[in-house]
Structure 1
Amino acid sequence: MYHFNFQPIFDNLDMLLHGAWLTVRLSLMAMVLGLVVSVLGAVAKTSGIRPLRWLVDVYVEVIRNTPFLIQIFFIFFGLPAIGIAMSPNTAALVALVVNVGAYGTEIIRAGIESIPQGQIEAGRALALSPVQILRHVVLKPAMRNIYPALTSQFIYLMLTSSVVSVISANDLASAGADLNAKTFASFEVYLVLTVMYFLLAAGFSAVFAMIRRVAFSYPASR
């Protein structure tokens, strides 16, 4: 029978904790930058500028219909052929931002289009500027509507970030692979990695739920 031995894991726990921190940092940076790309892409896609809408459509369709692994390989191995070289960590961040930006664009676009046209007309009647209408009348209600879908996509991004270990980017999966090569305790290493990714996902879910209560809670009626 198999004899479980977690001692090598405990002896090298700092490796996994450091890898977990790098995964959290990489994921947070990708979420923030990806949200910016998503908002800009959604605004462009719902605008009346046809060439801009066409460019965003091409970007979204290319990213959504190609494997994330191929996107990473293209950025890290393909772009240097035309003089654009990046470190593994930078390439991983760019790939994650590009990927989540495409999916986020469609999510936010759906939220924007769910806003009744009457609300926008009311904003114009109140002499609000286009930027004020976009910020207060369109984006905030849209974000409230699509917040669960958007945060689910962000959690999926954090889990997907494990793929970046294939280009030697520093993250939890890469630390686990290094520890496995060092200890040969494959079962124990990947069992602990599974638990750690689960805890990270649960932690992000709790933080997103707290943000939703603070940012999108309605004032109590009197």
Structure 2
Amino acid sequence: MLDFTGVLAAWPVFLEGLAITALLTVISCTLGTLLGIACAWCRVQGSRATRLAVACYVEFFRNTPFIVQIFFIYFGLPAIGLRFASFPAAIFALTINLGAYACEIIRAGIEATPKGQHEAAQSLGLGRWHIFTRVVLPPALSRVWPGLTSQLVIIMLATAVCSLISTAELSYVTNRIAAETFRQFESYIVVTLLYLALSIMFRRLLQWLGPRFLFGCAPVGVSR
């Protein structure tokens, strides 16, 4: 018979884990998106060597499991003298993983920008950086925002993997609660509902935030 009494009594612990999950998500999504923008710019505007280096980075992280990446960072890098605590290791792994996916998503939006806009900006004497940040990037983000939003939500859910390196996020504290209360089924029902609610709220927030503050116009196919 289901008994949620002991599990629900541990709600402060759930909240602590939820706070760590939210912090991991905000930091890694911010840094990962910025990394993706920088890499997309390198793929489009960089030298041949730069484009090749970024392409290798993207292919590596898009074609290896995230769990292997985070294990390599946390357990592998200490072999060459690079040691990370669990939280910085989680941020690092999530950021570079998102950067690889965001790079290709944003690059698709950049390449869909009409060449006429770029040429018009050049004729006005704008530099390459101003053209990219003021003319090319805002509409590019607008085009790909739905796809980028989905990728950001995936990264939020991927924070659960960070429990494997003892990052005290939501999955980690749930395992602890389940072990202490001997109520595994009830514990995982609660955490499933928490992740579901968190995913829906995060997606809604991104759908609201992007058009109004990040690129100043509604995404393609989305009315204001």
TM-score bracket, shorter-length normalisation? over 0.9
Paired residues for 1:1-222 under 5 Å: 3-215=1-213, 216-217=216-217
> TM-score, normalized by length of structure 1?
0.95
**What amino acid is the match of 1:107?**
I
Query: Using the alignment, how far apart are the partners of 2:59 and 2:211 within structure 1?
Result: 33
What are the superposed Cα offsets for residues 69-121 of structure 1, whole Å, 9 maximum, x if unpaired? Answer: 00011000000000000001111110000100000010011111111111100
Q: 1:213 to 1:111 in 2, by over 3 A?
A: closer
Report deviation, 1:212: 3.1
The CA distance in 1 between the partners of 2:84 and 2:185, in whole Å, is 34
Question: Secondary structure of 2:82's match?
Answer: coil
Deviation string, structure 1 residues 152-191 (Cα, Å, up to 9, x no partner): 1000100011011011111000010110111110110000
Equivalent residue, structure 1, for 2:221: none
Counterpart CA distance in 2 for 1:48 and 1:82 is 31
Which amino acid letter does the alignment assign opposite residue 154 of structure 2?
Y
Identity rate of aligned residues, in percent? 39
Distance across 2 between alignment mates of 1:48 and 1:187 = 52
- TM-score, normalization: structure 2? 0.94
The AA in structure 2 aligned to 1:203 is M
Counterpart of 1:164, as a letter, is: C
| Mapped partners of 1:154, 1:213: distance in 2 | 16
By how many angstroms is 1:217 displaced? 3.2
Q: For the residues of structure 2 that align with 1:130 and 1:67, how far apart are their CA atoms?
A: 36
> Matches of 1:106 and 1:177 in 2, distance apart?
35
Distance in 2 between the 1:212 and 1:27 partners? 16
Change (3 A) 1:48 1:94: closer
Distance 1:28 1:113 in 2: 28
Gaps (5+ residues) in structure 1?
Answer: none
Aligned with 1:86: secondary structure?
A: coil
CA RMSD of aligned residues (A): 1.0
Deviation at 1:213, TM superposition (A): 3.9
CA distance in 2, matches of 1:49, 1:20: 43
What's the offset of the Cα at 1:36?
Answer: 1.1
Q: Which amino acid aligns with 2:62?
A: R
- Separation in 1, partners of 2:17, 2:144: 31
Aligned length: 216
- Secondary structure of 2:83 counterpart: coil
